[in-house]
Structure formats: C-alpha cells, structure tokens
Amino acid sequence: MQSFTLHSGVVVAMDRANVDTDQIIPKQFLKRIERTGFGQFLFNDWRFRGDGTPDPQFELNLPEAKGATILLARRNFGCGSSREHAPWSLADYGFRCVIAPTFADIFYSNCFSNGILPIRLSEEDVDQLFELAKAAKSSDSGQYELSIDLNDCTLSDGQGFQRTFEVEPFRKRCLLEGLDNISLSLQHTDEISAWEKSHGLSSIVSE
C-alpha cells in the first residue's frame, strides 16, 4: 500500500451530501477480482451521459478538476453498502485524500486500508473550503490546491487557510508506513510461526 506523509494536490469540490458507495462505484462494475482498474468507472452514472460521452457539467469533468487528487464533499460521504471497491475506485482514479464533515464508518475505515486519507472537518470549515475553491476558478490556473502533512495533521492552502485534523494514532501509523492488513500481519511472522509450532501446526502449514 502506498504510504501517505506529505501531499499537495488539486482539489475538486463535489457539493453533494450523502454520496453513497453505489454512486461512487455502481454495482455492475464489481465483477473484477483485482483492486486496480476501477478508476475508469468512478462515479460512472454521474460522469457519463446515456450515450457514454462525458457529462460536461459533472464536477470531475470540469476543467478545474483536471489532475485532482483531493476530493472535497459534504456530510455522510461513503454511506450505503460496505463495498471496499469504493475506495479502490477513488485510489485508482488518483485521489489520495477525501475531506468531508462526516463519513460512513465502514467507508472511513476502508480508506485507511487502501492508502486514502479521509479528513473530517467541521461544517463551517468545509463551507469555507467550498468558497475558496469557487473563488479559485477566477485565478490564472482556475484550480484550488491544498497541502497536507499527516505527521502534524495539518492542511493548508498557503494563502491563509490552515486547519488541524484528528486521526487515530494506529490508523495514522499505518498510513505513514504504508501498512495494510496483510503488511501488519507480516510484521508478526515470527510470533505467528512460534504459535503454530507450539500448537503443532507448523508441519501442516509447511505442507
């Protein structure tokens, strides 16, 4: 899993609440067995019109969203079913961070297991970020950028907006070191082997 320490990126503002996992990655695309390849289907029913062409009004298709790696959304992001394909598709598309006032619990947890940092900010702070992203459209680049430091748990736009956020210590460590559940288990191979041996399982495992 890709680690997360420092990240600076373009923000795409999705002014929608209660975005559920079926909207993030529709169920018809869940047949793949790999974790990769889902980015092309991210927000499929919103990104594309009935004839398969991109909807120019959808947030990810706007010019200022080009190359975005930070997704800004409203409350209860990632609600609905517990499918881990949702963070898979966000990560495969290129997102490293999602900012919202609240997240669905399972989606929030799945993000950390897939190299995505979910940041919870107050409604007021999220409102301000939406305003700043909107104002940035009239700048030379038309894009709004944020820098995130997971070590210090801070995010800033370098122009006056700076906030701290909270991340549980264990989840923070996993992201900083790029540890998913498998990597965490492999850190304890000696203890696992010793336990197997003490319970007469080593010969079974070796076979």
Is pLDDT above 60 for 63? yes
> Higher pLDDT residue, 12 or 32?
12
The average confidence (pLDDT) of the chain is: 91
% of the chain surpassing 90 pLDDT: 80
Residues 6+ apart with CB under 8 A from 106: 78, 82
Domain boundaries, the chain: 6-179
Mean pLDDT throughout 57-74?
Answer: 97
pLDDT at res. 154:
98
Mean pLDDT of 42-50: 97
Q: What is the pLDDT of residues 126-165, one digit of tens each?
A: 999 999 999 999 888 899 999 999 999 999 999 999 999 9
Q: Which of the two residues, 101 and 192, has the higher pLDDT score?
A: 101
Give residue-wise pLDDT tens across range 157-173: 999 999 999 999 999 99
Q: How much of the chain exceeds pLDDT 70, in percent?
A: 87
Q: Is the pLDDT of residue 22 over 70?
A: yes
CA-to-CA distance for 30 and 2, rounded, in angstroms?
Answer: 23
Tell me which of 199 and 41 has the higher pLDDT: 41
- 42 or 183, which is more confident? 42
| pTM score of the predicted model | 0.88
The CATH code belonging to domain 6-179 is 3.20.19.10
pLDDT value at residue 33: 77
At 31 the pLDDT is 86
pLDDT class of 197 with cuts at 50, 70, 90? low
Identify any residues that bridge with 144 across adjacent strands, giving them in sequence order: 11
Taking Cα atoms as reference points, which of 141, 178, 99, 110 lies closest to residue 186? 178
